[in-house]
Amino acid sequence: MKSSRYQFIKIGMLAASLTSLSALAQEPLDEAALTAEATGIVKQFGGTLKPLLKEAIETGGLKHAIDICSTQAPRIAAQLSKSSGWSVKRVSLKPRNTLQASADAFETDVLRQFDLRQQAGEQPDTISYTQTTDIGFRFMKAQGVEGLCLNCHGQTIHKDVESALQQYYPNDVAIGYSIGQIRGAFSLTKSVNNDQPEQQ
């Protein structure tokens, strides 16, 4: 009798625990907090890479900057991914490094939206997008063309720079941009346990 009562109590406690866990799993994501976290990671990425590129230009010229960008940008993305728990990368509709910057279907759609938003008058530094998908919470932040970018991504590129780009990126298509255009985006994904439908 006591054994049966004990088993009944254990089953009741287990059911209560499962109900509690189910309720937690169904709690809505704190998208504002996730967006703020992702924004901070993007700032850290840019804040780490830009000084390296400027220093490379000052010490070794644009060819050296290309070398630095080709090695350091992926390293920074990998380090941030490891330390933050997010998947961190840069993507583009015209990727320079097709192995690391090619966009998936979701990213391609968002990048096309970014282009339309920029053409409609939005400034690149204000353009971003978030969505909860079946693989997690996704955040994308537009990367606009600045003056420094034109040296290697502009419409007119010095022959020495063009030669260096061909050395590192034989199939390069990431050129022809002008100030203010969208040349790509930071794309971050964080896995979450969530059964909610996708939403913007």
- pLDDT above 90 coverage of the chain, percent: 63
The predicted pLDDT at position 99 comes to: 84
pLDDT value of residue 115: 97
pLDDT-derived band at 27 (thresholds 50, 70, 90) equals: low
Does residue 78 have a pLDDT over 90?
A: yes
CB 41 within 8 A of CB 189: no
Average pLDDT estimate for 181-186: 96
pLDDT digits (tens, 9 = 90+) for 92-139: 999 998 888 999 999 999 999 999 999 999 999 999 999 999 999 999
Instruction: Please report where in the chains the tokens 């969505």 appear, as a residue.
Output: 131
The angle at the Cα of 179, spanning 87 to 200, to the nearest 5 degrees, equals 40
* 158 within 8 A of 65, measured Cβ to Cβ: no
Q: What domains appear along the chain, each with residue ranges and CATH number?
A: 31-190 (3.30.450)
CA distance 169 to 75: 17
For residue 117, what pLDDT is reported? 98
Q: Are 87 and 38 in contact (CB under 8 A)?
A: no
Query: DSSP string of 38-77?
Result: HHHHHHHHHHHHHHHHHHHHHHHHHHHHHHHHHHHHHHHH
Length of the chain: 200
CA distance 127 to 119: 12
Rounded average pLDDT over 72-79:
95
Confidence of residue 196 (pLDDT cuts 50, 70, 90): very low
Distance CA 77, CA 43 (A): 12
The pLDDT of residue 190 is above 70: yes
Indicate whether 12 pLDDT > 50: no
Place of tokens 């330390």: 83
